[in-house]
């Protein structure tokens, strides 16, 4: 098979796999998101498996394109490309809401890549066992750390989805007491007070301020702070923050409604 044909075939196969995965996620995302919230750290296992599959696919493509290149050199190329993809994936995820870099994701992906590659490179059982054990240890540590840090926050989200707001409030408060710097947590607990519970507005204001400190560029967090000021009757401060949130995200329906309401009550002219 010619290198060009192999490359086109591999690209087509990867595109089909990616499209299938995208459609599956879109169709089953509500159930999948609940599963991830029930078991924080499960994503680290998926990163591990993804890293292993990625290296094997790249190695297969390399064997078709560079038939005469020694196996070890092809493995170096495959691992290098996999490393770039894993890091790029983590960088892309930081652009999502409330998301910051979590080095445990690329660590888990790299562990999967290492475990897969060692089974190709050597037939020595002791070496295979040692590397695989180390890789599994790394992903287990990553998953356990994620669960320990995030399970209260995610339990709160699940309870909020079930409209058990008092229980959700309790979980969020437990998570806040643990002191994890998570803007999503502070945004959620503040919003729960402001909307679902309708109480503790002063505390909601402090939590919203903390959320903005952690993620000042996130419009939803900024809007929550503005809405806390609105609930407390400080329309000028509410306008300052909600207007900024509206400027950052003019297509967000909730932010737009808050902005228009505050502008109307202040007797000002709304922006574009």
pLDDT value, residue 3: 47
pLDDT tens-digit series, residues 131-141: 999 999 999 99
Query: For the CA atoms of 78, 82, 84, 85, what is the dihedral angle to 10 degrees?
Result: 140
Please state the φ and ψ torsions of residue 198, each to the nearest 5 degrees: 65, 40
The mean pLDDT value for 39-45 works out to: 89
Is a pLDDT exceeding 90 seen at residue 107? yes
Q: What is the mean pLDDT of residues 189-204?
A: 96
Q: Would you place residue 6 in the very low, low, confident or very high pLDDT band (cuts 50, 70, 90)?
A: very low
Q: What is the mean pLDDT of the chain?
A: 86
Mean pLDDT of 80-108: 82
Please compute the mean of the pLDDT values over residues 17-43 and round it to a whole number.
Answer: 67
Between 133 and 9, whose confidence is greater? 133
Q: What is the pLDDT of residue 28?
A: 56
pLDDT band at 264 (very low <50, low <70, confident <90, very high): very high
Is the separation of the CB atoms in 74 and 105 below 8 Å?
A: no
Weakest-pLDDT range from 40-49, 159-168, 261-270: 261-270
Has residue 50 got a pLDDT over 60? yes
Give the whole-number percent of the chain exceeding pLDDT 70: 84
Confidence of residue 145 (pLDDT cuts 50, 70, 90): very high
pLDDT for the residue numbered 44: 93
Place domain 181-266 in its CATH homologous superfamily: Tetratricopeptide repeat domain (1.25.40.10)
Higher pLDDT, 88 or 34: 88
Give the pLDDT mean for 177-206: 93
- DSSP, res 58: H
Rg, C-alpha atoms of the chain: 24
Cβ neighbours for 36, distance < 8 A, ≥ 6 positions apart? 42, 43, 154
Question: Please, which residues have CB within 8 angstroms of residue 148's CB and are 6 or more apart in sequence?
Answer: none
Q: Where in the chain is the domain with CATH 1.25.40.10?
A: 181-266
pTM: 0.77
Task: Determine the 3-state secondary structure of 198 from DSSP.
Answer: coil
Instruction: Classify residue 258 as exposed, middle or buried by CB count within 10 Å of its CB (0-12, 13-18, 19+).
Output: buried
DSSP secondary structure letter of residue 69: S
In this predicted structure, the answer to whether residue 118 has a pLDDT above a threshold of 60 is yes
Average pLDDT estimate for 213-217: 91
């Amino acid at each position: 098979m010619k290198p060009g044909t192999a490359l086109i075939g591999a690209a087509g196969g990867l595109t089909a796999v990616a499209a299938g995965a995208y459609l599956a996620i879109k169709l089953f995302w509500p159930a999948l998101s609940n599963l991830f919230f029930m078991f924080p750290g499960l994503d680290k296992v998926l990163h591990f498996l993804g890293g292993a599959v990625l290296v094997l696919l790249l190695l297969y493509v390399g064997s078709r394109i560079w038939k005469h290149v020694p196996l070890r050199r092809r493995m170096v190329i495959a691992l290098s490309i996999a490393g770039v993809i894993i890091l790029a994936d983590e960088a892309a995820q930081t652009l999502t809401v409330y998301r910051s870099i979590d080095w445990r994701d690329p660590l888990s992906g790299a562990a999967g890549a290492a475990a897969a590659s060692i089974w190709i490179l050597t037939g020595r059982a002791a070496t295979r066992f040692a590397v695989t054990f180390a890789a599994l240890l790394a992903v287990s540590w990553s998953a356990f750390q994620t669960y320990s840090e995030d399970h209260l926050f995610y339990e709160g989200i699940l309870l909020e989805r079930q409209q058990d707001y008092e229980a959700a409030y309790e979980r969020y408060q437990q998570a806040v007491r643990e002191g994890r710097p998570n803007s999503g947590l502070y945004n959620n607990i503040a919003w729960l007070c402001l909307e679902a519970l309708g109480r503790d507005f002063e505390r909601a204001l402090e939590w919203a301020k903390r959320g903005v400190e952690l993620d000042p560029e996130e419009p939803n967090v900024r809007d929550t702070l503005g809405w806390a000021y609105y609930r407390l009757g400080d329309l000028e401060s509410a306008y300052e923050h909600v207007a900024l949130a509206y400027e950052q995200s003019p297509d967000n329906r909730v932010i737009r409604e808050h902005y228009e309401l505050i502008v109307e009550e202040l007797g000002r002219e709304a922006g574009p």
